[in-house]
Chains A and B, each alone.
Chain A
Amino acid sequence: MKRQGIAEALRDAIAEEMQRDERVFCIGEDIGVPGGWGGAFTVTLGLDERFPGRIINTPIAELGFFGVAVGAAVMGMRPIVDVQYGDFLFLASDQIINNAAKLRYMSGGQIAVPMVMRAPVGATGRGSQHAQNMERFFTGVPGLKVVAPSTAYDAKGLLKAAVRDNNPVMIFEHKLLYGSKGARAEPGAVDATSDVPEDDFIVPLNEAAVLRDGVDVTIVAWLLMAHVSMQAANRLAKDGVGAEVIDARCLAPLDWTTLVASARKTRRVVIVEEGPKTGGVAAEIAAGLCERCPGLSVDRVASPDIPVPFAPVLENAYRPDAARIAAAALRLLRGNREV
């Protein structure tokens, strides 16, 4: 075991997979410059020295290098492609949605596209265009798998599973969870460290994690909101309310078995999402649970339908917090969904 943050755990996962399988390589911006950054958040730092020729440093051309990764995957390579900020995935989305996600189907199963796409997300003091939670834009695309780890253990296990999967897998990483200490720590960063085993392990791409057991209300969240939801559950415990917290973790496909089992137990579900309320992943989880569990009480706690603001006071109001989550849970317990 070693205590690691998400950035280190991802770095180890990439290195171990590159060591294990020579078809694995990394491609992206600022990942292979001697004396450089190791990607925008240091995840690939030092890997270019360990794996010469397999850390491909690209021009600033997201559409292009995502397409290059798809082309390489089609030929049997297993690229790990990353963007500096998730927002830039809009530039790459033609290659992700029209090619990576569809080539297997439209070729009648001739082609596999085994590629991993990594993208940092979350509102972190950078205004509107380096801030969006991008999960929602990809969870509804047939042919893509989408995961979003909230701990170092999950980050390593999910990344390794993603590299070994024969399909395109997107991993969303939260900028406030990479590390809460050291020079690269973001203001407001949350401790997402885990005891990470030295031995090889994976986390399956279709399983949610129950972070906390409870019988009164279920709180479903992922990424930063999983941590905030745990804070809310601790507050609720002080009021004698037992909240079950589920880290959805795998957003496409969703783990309906775990989600439904908890919903049937508590009959009340709060789904928490960083990002606009309208059209989010929470909407899909809410609808799916209501279809499967008639009579369920469901509420969503999400950001307002606005771009991410810059001023810290506004950004903090944008992001769901423990107080709002706990209040939503209490409203469901009182049988009152009105504000």
Chain B
Amino acid sequence: MTDNRPQFLLGLLERMIEIREFEEGVRFLFLEGQMPGTIHQCQGQEATAVGVCAALQTDDFITSTFRGHGHALAKGLSMQEMLDELFGSETGCCQGKGGSMHLGNMQKGMLPGIAIVAGGIPLATGMALALRMQGKSQVVACFFGDGAVAEGAFHEGVNMAAIWKLPVIFVCENNLYGASTRVDLVMRNTRISDRAVAYGFTGETIDGNDLLAVFEATQRAVSQCRSGGGPFLLELLTYRRTGHSRRDPCHYQPKSERQQWFDRDPIERFAAQLQSDGLLDAAGLEAMKSQAVQRFEAAVEQAKAASPPTLRDLETDVFVSEAST
């Protein structure tokens, strides 16, 4: 790790920038009317996705939500398979049948996003139960938002992971808003990591806009889970700077609050840290951004030209046709 550390850290920054440029580009395409459907974006939350996934092995799994673009890129899905999916192409990661809210690629360790709030939490527990029964050492990181904590599925899924000590890292991206409703309107104790104690395991609240803090906390959680001491609840404090979806103008977010979180931009903070450590200069940072934009634009051109599914695909993949052996 020591020899490769500068490269590793630069790679993390690069991945965060890739997510930011992807989201900004997608937003533009969507507002222009070039992209169908709806979108839920994660600008400002890049450090949670990248910090958590950097602490996982490639064969570990994640579950995600309707706000999953960042998780997907962080887990190693390509811009191409994602953009093809967003454009509804047959070459998309879900062959155009999933769309923005259901991005995923099981080969790369990402269950397609579950777009029912908290619906992925019991699934993550079940995936971890399967890994345990199969004698495997992988872990599952389960992403969800602060809104999910009010759902029964959170309680039930987390409790079962706790009683069976399953290797799940429950990652709550607390971005302060469930749709337009601020967390303090829907919970008396807004420190979400406190929930873990009630279930008998460990929870931590971390600055989710501090990439290395997220990475290191996840490393601790992963290590505890792999050694049979799971599960773990990580509350990552962050901020959703776009609307909940589509054209939500965020009038419910106070300007001062928005400014405060803009000042804690996870990419700028980490870039500044790398610059002060002498690992990066201003030109290098600009190059990183322009390269991400170039990759995005090339992928968009290809995605626009990709074939939509044929109508023969309409009724395929409802069932598996073969029985098991």
Q: How many A-B residue pairs have CB under 8 A?
A: 158
Pick the contact of A75 from B122, B130, B157, B318 — CB < 8 Å? B130
Pick the contact of A108 from B97, B111, B121, B319 — CB < 8 Å? B97
Taking CB atoms and an 8 Å cut-off, the chain B residues in 114-140 that contact chain A are 114, 116, 119, 121-131, 133-134
The 7 closest A-B pairs by CB, nearest first: A71-B126, A67-B122, A64-B156, A108-B95, A75-B130, A68-B126, A166-B320
Report the minimal beta-carbon distance from A214 to chain B, rounded to whole angstroms.
34
Contacts A53-B133, A63-B156, A75-B131 known; A104 to B320 CB distance under 8 Å? Answer: yes
Report the minimal beta-carbon distance from B119 to chain A, rounded to whole angstroms.
6
Which residues from B are CB-within-8-Å of A73? 126
Pick the contact of B323 from A70, A74, A98, A166 — CB < 8 Å? A166
Looking across the interface, which residue of chain A has its beta carbon closest to that of B129? A72
Pick the contact of B97 from A59, A105, A143, A167 — CB < 8 Å? A105
Report the minimal beta-carbon distance from B123 to chain A, rounded to whole angstroms.
4
Pick the contact of B156 from A59, A69, A142 — CB < 8 Å? A59
Pick the contact of A104 from B93, B122, B153, B318 — CB < 8 Å? B318
Looking across the interface, which residue of chain A has its beta carbon closest to that of B94? A108
Which residues from A are CB-within-8-Å of B114? 98-99
Q: Report the separation of the CA atoms of residues A111 and B318 in the bound assembly, to the nearest whole angstrom.
A: 11
Per-residue CB proximity of B274-305 to A under 8 Å, as 1/0? 00000000000000000000000000000000
The winner among B95, B111, B156, B163 for most chain A CB atoms within 10 A is B156
Per-residue CB proximity of A91-127 to B under 8 Å, as 1/0? 0001100110001111111111010000000000000
Per-residue CB proximity of B92-122 to A under 8 Å, as 1/0? 1111111000101111000110101001011
Q: Report the separation of the CA atoms of residues A95 and B160 in the bound assembly, to the nearest whole angstrom.
A: 15
Q: Is B316 an interface residue, CB under 8 A from the partner? A: yes
Which residues from A are CB-within-8-Å of B320? 104, 112, 114, 165-167
Contacts A95-B122, A106-B97, A142-B318 known; A67 to B102 CB distance under 8 Å? Answer: no
Q: Is B200 an interface residue, CB under 8 A from the partner? A: no
Looking across the interface, which residue of chain A has its beta carbon closest to that of B166? A68
Q: Is A61 an interface residue, CB under 8 A from the partner? A: yes
Q: Is A278 an interface residue, CB under 8 A from the partner? A: no
Q: Is A77 an interface residue, CB under 8 A from the partner? A: yes
11 pairs, A vs B, C-beta closer than 8 Å? A54-B133, A61-B159, A64-B125, A67-B157, A68-B160, A70-B126, A99-B123, A108-B92, A111-B112, A114-B324, A164-B324
Pick the contact of B133 from A25, A99, A111 — CB < 8 Å? A25
Q: Report the separation of the CA atoms of residues A233 and B151 in the bound assembly, to the nearest whole angstrom.
A: 50
Pick the contact of B127 from A53, A58, A72, A103 — CB < 8 Å? A72
Contacts A65-B122, A78-B324, A99-B123 known; A167 to B319 CB distance under 8 Å? Answer: yes
How many residues of chain B have a CB within 8 Å of chain A? 46
Report the minimal beta-carbon distance from A147 to chain B, rounded to whole angstroms.
14
Looking across the interface, which residue of chain A has its beta carbon closest to that of B320? A166
* Further pairs besides A68-B126, A70-B123, A99-B123: 7, Cβ < 8 Å: A61-B159, A63-B153, A70-B126, A76-B130, A94-B116, A107-B97, A161-B323
Q: Report the separation of the CA atoms of residues A112 and B321 in the bound assembly, to the nearest whole angstrom.
A: 10
Which residues from B are CB-within-8-Å of A219? none
A59 touches B163 (CB 8 A): yes
A110 touches B112 (CB 8 A): yes
Which residues from B are CB-within-8-Å of A72? 126-127, 129-130, 133
Looking across the interface, which residue of chain B has its beta carbon closest to that of A75? B130
Q: Is B152 an interface residue, CB under 8 A from the partner? A: yes
Per-residue CB proximity of A158-175 to B under 8 Å, as 1/0? 000100111100000000
Q: Is A56 an interface residue, CB under 8 A from the partner? A: yes
Contacts A107-B98, A107-B104 known; A71 to B318 CB distance under 8 Å? Answer: no
B94 touches A107 (CB 8 A): yes
Which residues from A are CB-within-8-Å of B116? 94, 98-99
Which residues from B are CB-within-8-Å of A54? 133
Which residues from B are CB-within-8-Å of A68? 122-123, 125-126, 129, 157, 160
Report the minimal beta-carbon distance from B221 to chain A, rounded to whole angstroms.
19
Looking across the interface, which residue of chain B has its beta carbon closest to that of A65? B160
Contacts A65-B160, A108-B97 known; A71 to B152 CB distance under 8 Å? Answer: no
Q: Report the separation of the CA atoms of residues A56 and B124 in the bound assembly, to the nearest whole angstrom.
A: 16
Q: Report the separation of the CA atoms of residues A109 and B153 in the bound assembly, to the nearest whole angstrom.
A: 26
Q: Report the separation of the CA atoms of residues A75 and B134 in the bound assembly, to the nearest whole angstrom.
A: 9
Per-residue CB proximity of A284-309 to B under 8 Å, as 1/0? 00000000000000000000000000
Report the minimal beta-carbon distance from B217 to chain A, rounded to whole angstroms.
24
Q: Report the separation of the CA atoms of residues A93 and B124 in the bound assembly, to the nearest whole angstrom.
A: 17
Report the minimal beta-carbon distance from B153 to chain A, rounded to whole angstroms.
6
B127 touches A75 (CB 8 A): yes
A66 touches B104 (CB 8 A): no
Report the minimal beta-carbon distance from A305 to chain B, rounded to whole angstroms.
30
A107 touches B102 (CB 8 A): yes
Which residues from B are CB-within-8-Å of A106? 94, 97-98, 102, 112
A64 touches B160 (CB 8 A): yes
Q: Is B322 an interface residue, CB under 8 A from the partner? A: yes
Per-residue CB proximity of A196-222 to B under 8 Å, as 1/0? 000000000000000000000000000
Which residues from B are CB-within-8-Å of A70? 122-123, 126
Q: Report the separation of the CA atoms of residues A105 and B159 in the bound assembly, to the nearest whole angstrom.
A: 29
A65 touches B323 (CB 8 A): no
Which residues from B are CB-within-8-Å of A69? 126
Contacts A108-B95, A166-B322 known; A71 to B124 CB distance under 8 Å? Answer: yes
Which residues from B are CB-within-8-Å of A164? 323-324
Report the minimal beta-carbon distance from B145 to chain A, rounded to whole angstroms.
17
Which residues from A are CB-within-8-Å of B112? 103, 106-107, 110-111
Q: Is B317 an interface residue, CB under 8 A from the partner? A: yes
Q: Report the separation of the CA atoms of residues A105 and B111 in the bound assembly, to the nearest whole angstrom.
A: 13
Pick the contact of A99 from B119, B134, B322, B323 — CB < 8 Å? B119
Which residues from A are CB-within-8-Å of B152? 63-64
Q: Report the separation of the CA atoms of residues A165 and B66 in the bound assembly, to the nearest whole angstrom.
A: 30
Q: Report the separation of the CA atoms of residues A262 and B119 in the bound assembly, to the nearest whole angstrom.
A: 44
